[in-house]
Structure 1
Amino acid sequence: MQPRDFSDIWAFVRVVETGSFSGAARQMDTTKASISKQVARLEKTLHARLLNRSTRKLGLTEAGNAIFQNALRMLEEARALEATAAGLRAGPGGTLRVSASLAFGNTYLGGLLPDFMARYPDIRVVLSMTDRYVDLVEENIDVALRMAPRIDMLSAVARPIAPIRYVLAASPAYLDKNGTPASIAELAAHRCLTFGTSGAPLTWQFEREGVQQSVRVDSAMCANSSPALRLAMLRGGGIALLPTYVVGEDIGSGAALRVLPEWRPVGAFGDRLYAVYLENRFLPPKVRVFIDYLVEQIGERPGWDGFQPG
């Protein structure tokens, strides 16, 4: 293909997007005849018919659909290149759309964003919090923060940000009244606060020096919100298994106490925080600086784990 062919490709894309040669001509400030000539020339270059023409509408052939999808990716690369060049000239800017879980967004991420926005005043952050997996493309998300590296498509990247650890925690008042468990098995006799929606008994798993042990516990309270379980635990409701980014500060202040600290609880949602984003050779500056900021501010020794020695 020659450089001229790329202009023909853009003309073809505009025809498909507008649904007509005249619509493409208006967008590209040229004539309908010129657009028709460009598309015909592209078909000749590719040795393939791209459009099914009728008096009422245009339709893509099988080859035309494949070419159109590839052309869209080329166009996205070109736009990313322009954005990168603009970012290098003017610094990171634009709207950054971030997705995070309700618990992480409410307990930690929200507090990180003001300093990020002060550092990059031309970036406007739109934070969407949900506990479901979002589709980066369909929902126009720049970065999704996840506790497991689930990849929705081949063109996505999961960059590790920080470790996620879990602890058993209870209030001093609860332990004074009900005693402190001395073994994993004793948890079955305590009021346990569990994550979920069914309220049915479930199994907590633990690990210590390569040894694994589990216990089946009843749910004195079940909730699909870690912050809600934290509040119930702090008010003496029972023993909760929580991520340290939710309960770390409470343990550091003494408002909550660790239960069986020699055992490492195995969390149900993974052991690392990832930033998931669409792979792009020309990563927009707003995405790059945001991920770098998270690594800088959280890292391998997160502040929420400050209560742990070593």
Structure 2
Amino acid sequence: MEVFVAVVESGSFSEAARRLDISSVRVGKTIAQLETHLQARLLQRNTRRQTLTEAGKAWYNESLQVLAALQSAESRIEGLRRFPAGSLRISAAITLGSTVIAGLCSEFQQQFPEVHIELELSDRFVDVIAEGFDFAFRIGELPADMPLVAHRIGEYRMVIAGAPGYLAQHGTPQTMEELTAHRCLRYSNWNRLNVWRNGDSLLWPKNSTFSCNDGHALRNAALAGAGLILQPRLLLAEDIAAGRLIALLEHTLPAPRPVNLLWSQDIHSVAKHCRFIEWIISKAPEKLC
């Protein structure tokens, strides 16, 4: 189609060849193959000039529309590579997602308003590829055979804390063993994969006076003096800084766990993915230090 349009608009095979930077012979062969394929003569040619047949006029008009649509499609794909647009589906753990990731996603969307974000918060283990997620934030060590790209963006530190009023009434524990004598608030979504242990011993008492599947609710209970809390530091940092909660036993907690951003290996060519990766890598570490 491109060769035929060039012949029509330039008026000759030789001019079309110069326009397309190919040989005149190739132009002639292409037009002959096109006429054979369509089983119709498109051009009437003589020694002085060429004219379009009725079939040639119809093919020329259709070719212009097809080539314009093709150029528009190519421009759209090029735009997707250059300018972030479209949807991003992201998975994160509940506490991490609500305290850090939601804010980072909101800031990203302010920079790139054509990107629509669906953030799913859940403490379950999601299958990034099978469930159609573009990205997932995962806490903890990753398996060596994982079929995803991973980039470490920070650390997930835990903290034990209690309200000043509770500690004044019940005393301040000096060792982990003393926690069994205290009223402890328990996160009920802990399981064998994410519970904190020291060898074979639980780092948090099995028996709790208050349990909940939401870290923010446990934080409110701790602020009200209901007991001691073990939760991510990023959830309790402002309360500790303001003196509403007192951090306890800081030197006895295990090492922080890594936080990784995960994505499929084949998404680098699209701008929304590239920019999101760049954004998280540059912004997340200061939130997760």
- What's the TM-score bracket when you normalise by the shorter of the two chains? 0.5 to 0.7
Question: Which structure has the bigger radius of gyration?
Answer: 2
Question: How much does 1:189 deviate?
Answer: 0.5
Q: Does 1:165 align with 2:157?
A: yes
**Secondary structure class of the residue paired with 1:264:** coil
Q: Does 1:230 align with 2:219?
A: yes
Structure 2 residue aligned with 1:104: 96
Give RMSD over aligned pairs: 3.3
Question: How much does 1:82 deviate?
Answer: 9.5
C-alpha contact (below 8 Å) 2:159/2:232 kept by paired residues? yes
Structure 2 residue aligned with 1:181: 173
Structure 2 residue aligned with 1:294: 280
Structure 2 residue aligned with 1:277: 263
What amino acid maps onto 1:227 in structure 2? Answer: H
Superposed CA offset, 1:133-182 (max 9, x none): 22223321100111135569853122211111011011111111111112
Query: Among 115, 124, 127, which residue is 2:116 paired with?
Result: 124
**Secondary structure class of the residue paired with 2:280:** helix
C-alpha contact (below 8 Å) 1:170/1:239 kept by paired residues? yes
Under a length normalisation based on structure 1, what TM-score does the superposition of the two structures give?
0.60
Percent identical residues: 29
What amino acid maps onto 2:260 in structure 1? Answer: Y
Structure 1 residue aligned with 2:246: 257
Superposed CA offset, 1:258-288 (max 9, x none): 0122222467xxx111111111274422122
- Distance in 2 (alpha carbons) for counterparts of 1:103 and 1:185: 27
What amino acid maps onto 2:263 in structure 1? Answer: Y
Query: Among 217, 236, 259, which residue is 1:247 paired with?
Result: 236
C-alpha contact (below 8 Å) 1:93/1:123 kept by paired residues? yes
Segments of 4+ in structure 1 off by > 6 A?
A: 81-84
Structure 2 residue aligned with 1:144: 136
C-alpha contact (below 8 Å) 1:149/1:158 kept by paired residues? no
Change (3 A) 1:175 1:83: farther
Change (3 A) 1:132 1:198: closer
What amino acid maps onto 1:171 in structure 2? Answer: A
- Distance in 1 (alpha carbons) for counterparts of 2:253 and 2:159: 7
- Distance in 2 (alpha carbons) for counterparts of 1:304 and 1:233: 23
- Distance in 1 (alpha carbons) for counterparts of 2:111 and 2:204: 47
Under a length normalisation based on structure 2, what TM-score does the superposition of the two structures give?
0.64
- Distance in 1 (alpha carbons) for counterparts of 2:144 and 2:92: 16
What amino acid maps onto 1:253 in structure 2? Answer: A
C-alpha contact (below 8 Å) 2:184/2:205 kept by paired residues? no
Note the residue ranges of structure 1 that are not aligned, 5 or more in a row. 1-80, 306-310
Note the residue ranges of structure 2 that are not aligned, 5 or more in a row. 1-73
Change (3 A) 1:103 1:190: same
- Distance in 1 (alpha carbons) for counterparts of 2:218 and 2:248: 15
